[in-house]
Structure formats: structure tokens, C-alpha cells
Structure 1
Amino acid sequence: MKIGLDIMGGDYAPKATVLGAIEAYKTLSADQKLVLIGDREIATSILQENNANPDNFEFVHTTEVIGMGEHPTKAIVQKPDSSISVGFKLLKEGYIQAFSSAGNTGAMLVGGMFSVKTIPGVIRPAMTTIVPKLKGGLGILLDVGANADCKPDNLLQFGVLGSLLAESVYGISNPRVALMNIGEEEEKGNLLTQASYHVMKDTNMFNFVGNIEGRDLFSGEFDIAVCDGFTGNVILKLAESFYVITLKKGFKDEFFDRFNYEQYGGSPILGLNQPVVVGHGISSPEAIKNMVLLSKNMVESNLIDKIKQAFQ
């Protein structure tokens, strides 16, 4: 297995990404190789400064970088030798089996859809995040930013994608899928959630348990929470602030510690033909390491094949 890592993507790249690669390497088996995509000379220098052997990694040298604020489509087209563009080329050609980056999220979405493309039957790929539960365990929230505007069919498919991720990667049996809404009653919500409720209620593609409200997000009443990307991204950014607030207020709590994004590494883009993971722009070495390990788990679990079978 070869896992591609964009070492130029992220606010603290390439130092944080290369240091994360060093930590990830320590957990990989002999038949799992990390391919560092970016400026080879800089990466080698960082490795040597930290007493890491460059021979432990493969390198694919690139000369361009897509900035965090660049227009995704223009950047992918105008910078073919960027680390993101080259990463997707390697993924499409099968040289690597997974690709991850903490760089420009839009470029990762566009690059994925242009290169490895969407699985036939999937209308729009979705991004996910982990939601810690008060009594232990975790839930999955999607979409968290790939699709700001959605239709009921999108939310239905998000339920399928989230269920397969929960079962395959996180070992959750018969995951419960809930619809994020402003009330528990069937008739509550806007036009999207009202229509989506009936579509999801009538499906046999997953275990639908009805509506949940924002106050239920950290409860044990669901395993998958489905919403449009606008709502999901607002929830995600609010939840991320909890951990930061606890640090600023000077108190430590096991539950709030689980809001630390570093533990989860990144967000899988579900619905593409190959495993792709997007990390947080401020990813630390620990987050980069966990992003690589999540990519590995997606490959080992055969998640993509299971999604393809579900949408045949």
C-alpha cells in the first residue's frame, strides 16, 4: 500500500506535514509506504534535521503550491505541477492508493471530482467529521462543507455514505441515521428537511431514527447525523471552538479534550472513486499523522468498494 501525502498543504507546511509524516511512519507496517508529494529538497532537509532517514519515504517532487486562498478550479488547471494536482494524478494512475492533504479544501474537492471522479450513482460527494458522545464513543456528522445547498436526494445519499463509513472504518453495527432539524416532530423544519424526512423514512438503505435537534448532537441517540453542508460547517466550527475555549479558560475535561481536531486527522471526502482525506488548515504534526492513518484505514476497510456496491 502506498499512501500519498501533500507536504506543501496547510498553514504550517511543509514543516508540520513532514514532522507528521515522521510520526506516521513509526506506526506503518513494512508493506505500507508513505509517498511525500512536494518539494523534495525541503522535505529531505527537515527529515535530516529531525534525525529521520529519507530512505524511509518515497518522494515525488513538485514545483508549485496551491495557496489556501486561491480559487480551486483555476488553481487546479493553472498549476498542474502543484502538490495537490500531482497527488490526484498519482491517485488516478494507481501509483498511490490514498491521498491526503491539509491544503486548500476547495482544490481537494475539485481535484478529486476532476481526476478520480465521483462513484457512479453518487450525486455529490460529502465531507464528514467526528462528533464525540458524552457517554463515550462517537458519531459522524455529514455534510460539513462540500455542499452548501442540498436537495432531499443528497441528504438520503449522505445517510448511505455515513452508514458505510461508520460500519467499515469505525466498527459501528447497524448505525442509526438521524436528520438534523429544528424539532423532533415529523412536520418540523424548512422545505429541505421536511421533504428529506419522508424520503429517509421510506428507505430501507439505512436505519433511520428520525429528527434530532442541536441539543441532541452529543447524546447517544444516533450514530450518523445528516444535514446540508452549510448547517454542518456551522456546527463543525462551533464544536471546534469548545476545545479552544477550555484551554483559554484553564480547565481540563476528558469530554472536551475529544473536541481536539488533532485526534481525528481529517475529513474523508465520501463518494469519490478513491480514498481522499482533507485535513484542517492549521494541522499540527499530530493531526497530519492521524490524517495518514485515517487514509490507511479507508484503504484497509475496502470502504470505496462497499460504497460502489451500494450505489450499483
Structure 2
Amino acid sequence: MTKTLAIDCMGGDYGPSVIIPAAISALQQHSDLQIYLVGPQQELNSHLKTHPKFDSRLHIQDASEVIGMSEKPSAALRRKPDSSMRKSLELVRDGEADACVSSGNTGALMALATVLLGTLPGIERPAITAELPNRKGSVTNMLDLGANIDASAEQLTSYAVMGHVLSERADGIDNPRVALLNIGEEAIKGRDSIKLAGEMLSNQSAMNYVGYIEANEIFDGDVDVVVCDGFTGNNVLKACEGITRFLYDQLRTEFTRSWWSKAVSALVWPLLKSFQRRINPDQYNGASLLGLREIVIKSHGSADSKATLFAINKAITEIERQVPQAIQDTVAQLLLNTDNEE
């Protein structure tokens, strides 16, 4: 099965200097992969001079404009028809590519993708989801992480369906456990939208809904999907990133404080490196924009080539597992069940 990606080379903090090496690595790993590099042709060609040639599998799609990281989504929609981000999505829309990967402006990417690709039947709003490591050594998918500030009960329910399918298809988890993020586990706690969503999910026999979960339990590994509104999810994600940096910096400071601590650090350094690898956010890079008719992966703006490669491989996995089609089928099944019950 040949897979084709459209990669926006002009997004993020570093642009082609890290995105092109990641694309080349992906081509080396996957013999059935083709890639469109999207951006100013002359600039991309200059970066490709020092890389291996993939004449039959690597293509350049010229795009003369770039959407800045701070630009408003509305401006990106109206004023930059030849942007690298838009051209990447158009390749997917027109059937030239199976998925788009971009590390550019998140709001603009979501807006453009929604307009150009459309949402799946039964999905009112797309959601951003990403993997978080857990204590069991696997991953927990969390959504929404910022696409929608607020969410109704119906939207939270659709997020749960999408997370269920992603966890099942992309992560290979049988009957994934789905939970709503709340301020307590009791049924009486939380916003009305969360309580109503809980009732709706409890009536869905096709899903393994396990109830509420609190923020301090997200990393325990007792659930596979955590559902919340975008405001809550984005703040949780940013807090986790900050705590990770804080803990690692504190450990490094403690182990360099004195000659004794330096001697001890030599003994425990392998353990620290192992710990760093396990919580390294690079290996979890690549947020899925779920609910769209096609596959779109958002790479972190500060991602290096290694982290960008993780995002590219995530797109490849979703192509292979046909995630959008699976979400569409599951939504239709649940809606059909609801209609029959009524």
C-alpha cells in the first residue's frame, strides 16, 4: 500500500532545517512512502542539496506564502491562498496525498483543515488529541487539547467516540477504557455538560465508559482515553510539560551541587537517562486533529528532526489503520443504536 504525505515545511520554529531531514528519514524507513515537501521551491531545493536523492518518491510543491505562528486563523483563511499550510491541505483534499503534517500555527491549521477537508458526518467540531505516557508503560490519549475552548455534552460524547476509535486502531488497545475528566469521581460533581455527557456515554454499550477521572490520575494508566474541553485539556498539557522540565532541572541541579552528589550521580546517571527517555516529549510528538474527513497531524512548533519524525510516523500509522473511516463507521453505529432505542 503506497502512502503519500503532504508536509508543510515552513511551520514551527525551525522550518525546513529540521522538517526536511525528518522527511528524508521517513523515506529511508518506509519504502512504500511518497512525500510532497510544501514551501518555496528555491528554498526547499537548497536544503535538499546535502540529502540523499529520492527522485521518484520525493516531490516539491511550490508555495510562496507562509502563515506566521501568531497570525489569526481568520487572516490565514482570507489573505494567504498560496501558503504552505493551505497547499499541503489542498493536496490531501484533492486526493494527491493521504495525510498532512504541519508544525505551524495550530489555530490556522484547524480552521483551514475544517474548511478545506470538512468534518465527518455526526461530528460537530474536530478535536486535538495527543498521547501521554503512563505508569503502566503504555500511552493514554487525551482530547480535546485546545481546538474548542468549551464543549457541550454532545461534543464531549463525540470526543469520547473519536478517542475510543483512535486508541483501538492506532494503539491496538482492545476495548479501550474511556473516562471524562472531572473535579471528582462522584456523579453529582462537575459542570452540567460533563454530567450529561456521562449519562449519554453510560448508555452506549458499544464503548467501555468507566466514569470520571481526576487530573492526578491521568498518568496512572487505568484508562486509555481521557475526555475534556479544550480549555481544560490545554492547561493540563502545558502544566505537565512545565512539571517535566522542572523535575528534570531540579534533579540535574541536585546531582551537581557538591563533589559527593557528583560522585553519586555517576552511579545513578544511567537511571536518569532512562527516566529522561521515558518522559521525553519528543516521542509523543504529533497531535491528531480528529473528526476531519482526512488525516491531519499537528507537530509541536519547537520540535526537532527526531520529534518531527515521530509526528510523520503517527500520520503513517493513521493512514494504515484508516482512522477517519473507522471514526465515521463507529459514529454511524452509535447514532443508529440511539435511533433504534428511541
TM range (shorter): over 0.9
Number of residue pairs aligned between Structure 1 and Structure 2: 310
**Where does residue 18 of structure 2 map in the other structure?**
16
Contact 1:112 1:272 in 2 (8 A): yes
Contact 1:66 1:104 in 2 (8 A): yes
Aligned AA for 1:160?
Answer: V
Q: Identity across aligned pairs (percent)?
A: 35
1:26 corresponds to which of 3, 25, 28? 28
Contact 1:100 1:292 in 2 (8 A): yes
Over aligned residue pairs, what C-alpha RMSD do you find? 1.5
1:259 corresponds to which of 279, 296, 306? 279
Residue 209 and residue 253 in structure 1: after superposition, are their counterparts in 2 closer, same or farther (change >3 A)? farther
Q: Which runs of 5+ in 1 are unaligned?
A: none
The question of 1:275 aligning with 2:295 is answered yes
1:290 corresponds to which of 310, 313, 320? 310
| Distance apart, 1:129 and its partner CA | 1.3
**Where does residue 180 of structure 1 map in the other structure?**
181
The question of 1:241 aligning with 2:261 is answered no
Deviations 1:77-103 (A, max 9, x none): 211110011111111100001001000
| Within-5 A mapping of 1:172-251 | 172-251=173-252
| Distance apart, 1:57 and its partner CA | 1.4
CA distance in 2, matches of 1:44, 1:105: 26
Deviations 1:45-70 (A, max 9, x none): 22223x43263511101100000000
| Distance apart, 1:43 and its partner CA | 1.8
Deviations 1:121-149 (A, max 9, x none): 10111110112111211111111001111
| Distance apart, 1:287 and its partner CA | 1.4
Aligned AA for 2:179?
Answer: A
Q: Which runs of 5+ in 2 are unaligned?
A: 253-271, 333-342
Deviations 1:247-270 (A, max 9, x none): 423442645543322112310001
TM-score normalised by structure 2 residue count: 0.87
Larger helix fraction of residues: 2
Contact 2:6 2:89 in 1 (8 A): no
The question of 1:310 aligning with 2:334 is answered no
Residue 311 and residue 197 in structure 1: after superposition, are their counterparts in 2 closer, same or farther (change >3 A)? closer
Contact 2:132 2:284 in 1 (8 A): no
Contact 2:168 2:174 in 1 (8 A): yes
Aligned AA for 2:327?
Answer: I
